[in-house]
Amino acid sequence: MYIGNSLQGNSVVRFVLNDKKVNTLSLDMINELYTELKAIDKIEKIRSVVIAHNGKSFSAGHELKELTTESGSEKHNEIFNTCGDMMNFIRNMKVPVIAEVNGTAAAAGLQLVASCDVVVAGKSSKFLVPGQKLGLFCSTPGIALVRAVPRKVAMDMLLTAQPIDAEAALRAGLVSRLVDDDQVKFEALKVAEQIGQFSRSVTALGKAFFYTQAELSTTEAYRYGSRVMVGNLKLKDCQEGISAFIGKRQPEFEHSNDLVEEMKKN
């Protein structure tokens, strides 16, 4: 097993990358994590996922021994296609995925971090795409990176292969929250618990809309957003939340996609 997992409370699953000291994303590890994520996304009681790590490295990236000529182009294609599919799946999951980084995230490891919805990092963490040093440009890690940070920052990192520290990552938008190293796990679980208070169905709707609208023009995004908001209002959980707020009580969410009766006819 390359990945340990545990249920934190009733609604949070925490995966721990645990392969040697640097947690290389070998094809086996990618497949294992991908399988686990697909299974978790189907469990209704789960509200969020945390991806953490053992050791000083969140992940050093792909296993270089699998990228030699001897492995062959067919194996290389399988590695990059499977990895890309997994990164895309994280974005398309119904539940938010939180990266818990307390060390170095490099190459495909940084790609995994950048693909997560929220990133909590320790102050000593480092982030880099060092492919240039090996003669293998970090093209696929750059896909996730440029969608998380400004282009000039991404190109600087990709072209120079130099790391940025956690403060720079926070300023660039790669990191969501920065805390002392000994507080990273607690802060990540705090984020997960905050998310867990809300409706799973509404969270899923909001996550899907967020990533879709980001690729639209502003005009198209507002048109699409209006339709999504109207649809959101038809959910029982939404009307329960509004009623609870008006009545000054705590909402009791069903976490379902059920519609309110009076709006089903519209």
Instruction: Give the separation between CA 95 and CA 37, rounded to whole angstroms.
Output: 10
pLDDT at 176: 98
Instruction: Give the separation between CA 90 and CA 112, rounded to whole angstroms.
Output: 9
pLDDT class of 263 with cuts at 50, 70, 90? low
Residues 200-205, mean pLDDT to the nearest whole number: 98
pLDDT class of 109 with cuts at 50, 70, 90? very high
Among 138-152, 218-232, 248-262, name the one with the lowest average pLDDT: 248-262
Query: What's the pTM?
Result: 0.95
What CATH fold (topology level) applies to the domain 200-264?
Lyase 2-enoyl-coa Hydratase; Chain  A, domain 2 (1.10.12)
Q: CB atoms < 10 A from the CB of 226, how many? A: 10
DSSP secondary structure letter of residue 63: -
Residues 82-109, mean pLDDT to the nearest whole number: 98
Please determine, for residue 264, whether its predicted confidence score (pLDDT) is greater than 60: no
Better pLDDT: 225 or 9: 225
DSSP secondary structure letter of residue 89: H
For 17-70, write each residue's pLDDT tens digit: 998 789 999 999 999 999 999 999 999 999 999 999 999 999 999 999 999 999
The CATH number fitting domain 3-196, selected from 3.30.565.10, 3.90.226.10, 3.40.50.2300, 1.10.230.10: 3.90.226.10
Among all chains, which residue has been given the structure tokens 């609870």? Answer: 244
101, 96, 80, 104: which is closest to 30 by C-alpha? 80
Instruction: Give the separation between CA 126 and CA 28, rounded to whole angstroms.
Output: 25
Question: What residue segments make up the domains of the chain, in order of their start?
Answer: 3-196, 200-264
Largest CA distance in the chain: 67
Q: What is the CA radius of gyration of the chain?
A: 20
Virtual CA dihedral for 216, 217, 222, 225, nearest 10 degrees? 0
Please determine, for residue 1, whether its predicted confidence score (pLDDT) is greater than 90: no
pLDDT class of 2 with cuts at 50, 70, 90? confident
pLDDT at 105: 98
pLDDT at 265: 54
Percent of the chain with pLDDT over 90: 93
Please determine, for residue 95, whether its predicted confidence score (pLDDT) is greater than 60: yes
Is the separation of the CB atoms in 239 and 233 below 8 Å?
yes
DSSP string, 6-40: EEETTTEEEEEE-STTT--B-HHHHHHHHHHHHHH
**Helix, strand or coil for residue 177?**
strand
Instruction: Give the separation between CA 195 and CA 87, rounded to whole angstroms.
Output: 21
Residues 93-114, mean pLDDT to the nearest whole number: 98
pLDDT at 20: 79
pLDDT at 249: 97
Instruction: Give the separation between CA 127 and CA 197, rounded to whole angstroms.
Output: 31
Percent of the chain with pLDDT over 70: 98
Write down the mean pLDDT value for the chain.
Answer: 96
Please determine, for residue 266, whether its predicted confidence score (pLDDT) is greater than 80: no
- Which tokens is 30 given? 């990618």
Is the separation of the CB atoms in 24 and 55 below 8 Å?
no
